[in-house]
Chain A
């Protein structure tokens, strides 16, 4: 870089680091799970209540699957760990020069099924909340609803609708995880604006969130889609029996 030689090296490094950290926390403020204490208690209760039936069905099915096939427990735990690790890996974002993380639950929904994904995301959200400080216990219900219920079910719905229409596998995976990612974050914006707006201006708060963050979120969602295609392609080449039901 020849145009800023007049600054000393240390100043340049500090400036670059400061700029990067400011830019990288703009999407982080939004793309992370809803933090502890951000929602009012009444809304926490509402989202927990909304999640409860899904959790109950997921638990019932997990118990049934476990008694018929003990391998299921191990499979679920390994998948949960994988989702946890994926959601902490950085993705490069070309426009802002930042990194974001994949949500990975749409993919898990396609591979394991929606009901198992509810349990998987409950576990990884819980560990993230307690041991990393991402998300929180009171907002776990809201996060679980957007990440563990809305995301995978929309992804699976779109995936099978496109399968009926005869679209090939890669495009199907891309479209469904792209749309699921967008929907997860729209849902998060909706939950935030419901709780943060004091009275009557829910629409304006929601619009503010969407307008501010969608330009950043769209490329992230596209990248998550590409990654999901890469993962599915790799699995198809090396261990196709895992995703036999998708083809």
Chain B
């Protein structure tokens, strides 16, 4: 399962396509407009066109089918489940698919740094952007750490039966939390020694020389 989460993150890293060098905040605005229209227009035709367009763009970017399926499996299963129970109509499933597809296109074409940069530009509070920036850096470290702790425990019969797997999972989560607090203090000292006083300075990574210099974005 932990490997699976690595898999899900992978397309975030390999992104070179026709939209990846566009202004990120325009992409965010376009995505939000698409989502709003998706919710507002009650005709199946619109959602179908949106899904087909997204599919076409994905195909033209040569995104691996596995990533697309990984993104769409959840809404598909929820939709099928609700349809079976008679709680929803087909329209809802189409809306869900189109929405998730739009969001996937945004994430397939925009690195996190650019997304945060654009959020800052669109007026998101500084605290949130800064915390999200640091958080995103930590996620990968934590996955690696959780992975190695998990394998160490499994090699020592940690997940042998249900009872031990509960207790080993508790130890795993506790270790992650404790080490995260230690990491937080180390990180704090590191950024403090590099001149951190009020706010982080970050730059957009993929936009070329025009905006590659650090911007304060106040």
Residues of A that sit less than 8 Å from B by CB: 25-26, 28-29, 32, 35-38, 40-41, 44, 59, 62-63, 66, 70-71, 73-82, 84-86, 88-92, 94, 99, 119, 122-124, 126-127, 129-134, 136-138, 196, 205, 208, 212, 223, 226-227, 229-235, 238-239, 242
Residues of B within 8 A of A137 (CB): 31-32, 35, 103
Assess A37 versus B99: contact at CB under 8 Å? Given A88-B5, A92-B162, A208-B85. yes
Among B40, B70, B99, B172, residue most surrounded by chain A Cβ atoms (within 10 Å): B99
CB distance from A27 to the nearest CB of B (A): 10
B106-147 vs A, CB cutoff 8 Å, 1 = contact: the mask equals 110000100100000000010110111111101101110010
Residues of A within 8 A of B146 (CB): 85, 89
Assess A89 versus B35: contact at CB under 8 Å? Given A131-B112, A233-B174. no
Query: Is chain A's binding surface mostly helix, strand, loop or mixed?
Result: helix
Q: Which of B60-90 contact A (CB under 8 A)?
A: 70-72, 74-75, 77-78, 81-82, 85, 87-88
Residues of B that sit less than 8 Å from A by CB: 1-2, 5, 8-9, 12, 31-32, 35-36, 38-40, 70-72, 74-75, 77-78, 81-82, 85, 87-88, 92, 95-100, 103-104, 106-107, 112, 115, 125, 127-128, 130-136, 138-139, 141-143, 146, 162, 165-167, 169-178, 180-181, 183-185, 187-188, 191-192, 196-198
Residues of A within 8 A of B178 (CB): 234-235, 238-239, 242
Assess A70 versus B128: contact at CB under 8 Å? Given A38-B92, A229-B170, A230-B167. no
Q: How many angstroms between the C-alpha atoms of A226 and B167 in the bound complex?
A: 8
Residues of A within 8 A of B35 (CB): 36-37, 136-138
Q: How many angstroms between the C-alpha atoms of A45 and B122 in the bound complex?
A: 20
A81 and B180 contact, CB distance less than 8 A = yes
Q: How many angstroms between the C-alpha atoms of A32 and B12 in the bound complex?
A: 22
Q: How many angstroms between the C-alpha atoms of A77 and B183 in the bound complex?
A: 11
CB distance from B140 to the nearest CB of A (A): 9
CB nearest neighbor in A for B39: A41
CB nearest neighbor in B for A25: B77
Assess A205 versus B174: contact at CB under 8 Å? Given A41-B40, A71-B188, A84-B139. no
CB distance from B62 to the nearest CB of A (A): 19
Assess A196 versus B166: contact at CB under 8 Å? Given A74-B134, A133-B100. no
A234 and B139 contact, CB distance less than 8 A = no
Q: How many angstroms between the C-alpha atoms of A129 and B187 in the bound complex?
A: 27
Query: Is chain B's binding surface mostly helix, strand, loop or mixed?
Result: helix
Assess A226 versus B166: contact at CB under 8 Å? Given A131-B107, A234-B178. yes
Give 11 pairs: A residue, B residue, CB < 8 Å, sorted on A: A63-B125, A77-B133, A78-B138, A78-B180, A122-B128, A133-B70, A136-B99, A137-B103, A138-B99, A231-B173, A242-B178
CB distance from B146 to the nearest CB of A (A): 6
CB distance from B39 to the nearest CB of A (A): 4
B131 and A25 contact, CB distance less than 8 A = no
CB distance from B54 to the nearest CB of A (A): 12
- Of B74, B95, B196, which is within 8 A of A70 by CB? B196
Residues of B within 8 A of A136 (CB): 35, 99-100, 103
Assess A234 versus B104: contact at CB under 8 Å? Given A36-B96, A59-B128, A123-B128. no
Residues of B within 8 A of A242 (CB): 177-178, 181
CB nearest neighbor in A for B142: A85
A127 and B132 contact, CB distance less than 8 A = yes
Among B103, B167, B175, B192, residue most surrounded by chain A Cβ atoms (within 10 Å): B103
Residues of B within 8 A of A37 (CB): 35, 38-39, 75, 92, 95-100
Assess A79 versus B188: contact at CB under 8 Å? Given A136-B99, A205-B87. no
Residues of A within 8 A of B107 (CB): 130-131
CB distance from A101 to the nearest CB of B (A): 9
